[in-house]
């Protein structure tokens, strides 16, 4: 959980400004190799502070469906969520990069950007579709009502907020504008001397120079292909269903899944 093994220091040291499916797992491993304490969401998703992430989404984008009224997150809120526990957050924090830059003005910023036309089909297939599909209703039901995990609810609000949408179609319609606007604002907010424009093919040298670290004597990591990401997602869902079946019994789990499917069909 977020409060396990808290670190001391000045909050986030580096803000990794890259959206999911832009090499976040590779960079997470690279940062760890350089000695940073790193959070990468897929490492242990059932242990992530999903309730706080959902609150962050509601505070940042109050228009998202189902949002409760909240004050904007302060530095203390971001510290409670991530900054007091890690040096760098990769994937889960990426939609909040603009807010984190404001909260941690001393942090260096690493910007990674893929071409939209190559990035969006991967992001859409591996993050948007699994979050809003019919099957996801069963996953959300099991995750929250049986396992006590609000990952699906949190990520729906994050996606709605980042893409300034209130339904799935609007996410697709707004994707390119939201993407362009996000990266434009990043570069407006961060002076050139405090940011690194990085590509995974650049390897260690520019990253280490920017972060003032020695170059490791190991190859730069290249992890998590599209196939690996999908296989990992399916394995995590499978494990959650197996854990839930142990907790409530297979018949209880089956009834819950059917109820979730009926709720989805009824709108």
Residue 1 lies in a domain: no
- The pLDDT of residue 132: 87
The pLDDT tens digits for 7-24 are 556 899 999 999 999 999
Count how many domains the chain has.
1
- Global pTM reads 0.80
More confident residue, 25 or 34: 34
- The pLDDT of residue 63: 97
Mean pLDDT of 153-159: 93
Cα–Cα distance measured from residue 161 to residue 166, given in angstroms and rounded to the nearest whole number: 8
Q: Is the pLDDT of residue 248 over 50?
A: no
CATH number reported for the structural domain that contains residue 249 in this entry: 3.40.50.300
Mean pLDDT of 186-195: 96
DSSP characters for 65-119? TTPPP-PPP-HHHHIIIIITT-SEE-TTTGGGHHHHHHH-TTSEEEE----HHHH
Alpha-carbon dihedral angle through residues 86, 222, 213, 33, given to the nearest 10 degrees: 50
CB within 8 A of 172, min separation 6: which ones? 124, 128
The pLDDT tens digits for 34-90 are 999 999 876 666 667 889 999 999 999 999 999 999 999 999 999 999 999 999 999
Residue 6 lies in a domain: no
Range(s) of the domain holding residue 120:
14-265
Cα–Cα distance measured from residue 128 to residue 114, given in angstroms and rounded to the nearest whole number: 17
More confident residue, 239 or 98: 98
Residue 56 lies in a domain: yes
Residue 8 lies in a domain: no
Residue 9 lies in a domain: no
- The pLDDT of residue 223: 82
Residue 172 lies in a domain: yes
Mean pLDDT of 211-234: 76
64, 161 in Cβ contact below 8 A? yes
- The pLDDT of residue 150: 81
């Amino acid at each position: 959980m977020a409060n396990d093994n808290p670190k001391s220091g000045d909050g986030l040291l580096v803000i990794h400004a890259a959206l999911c499916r832009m090499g976040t797992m590779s960079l997470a491993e690279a940062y760890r190799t350089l000695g940073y304490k790193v959070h990468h969401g897929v490492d242990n998703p059932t242990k992530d502070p999903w309730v706080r992430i959902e609150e962050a989404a509601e505070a940042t984008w109050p228009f998202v469906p189902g949002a409760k009224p909240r004050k904007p997150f302060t530095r203390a809120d971001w510290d409670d969520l991530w900054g007091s526990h890690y040096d760098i957050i990769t994937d889960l924090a990426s939609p909040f990069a603009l807010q984190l830059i404001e909260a941690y003005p001393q942090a260096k910023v690493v910007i990674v950007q893929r071409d939209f036309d190559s990035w969006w089909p991967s992001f859409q297939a591996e993050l948007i579709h699994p979050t809003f599909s019919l099957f996801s209703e069963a996953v959300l039901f099991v995750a929250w009502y049986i396992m006590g995990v609000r990952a699906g609810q949190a990520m729906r609000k994050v996606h709605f907020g980042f893409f300034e949408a209130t339904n799935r179609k609007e996410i697709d319609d707004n994707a390119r504008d939201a993407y362009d606007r996000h990266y434009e604002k990043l570069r407006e907010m961060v002076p050139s001397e405090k940011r690194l424009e990085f590509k995974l093919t650049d390897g260690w040298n520019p990253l280490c120079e920017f972060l003032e670290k020695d170059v490791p004597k190991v190859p730069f990591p290249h992890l998590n292909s599209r196939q690996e990401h999908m296989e990992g997602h399916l394995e995590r869902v499978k494990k959650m269903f197996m854990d839930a079946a142990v907790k409530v019994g297979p018949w209880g789990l089956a009834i819950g899944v059917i109820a979730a499917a009926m709720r989805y069909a009824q709108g």
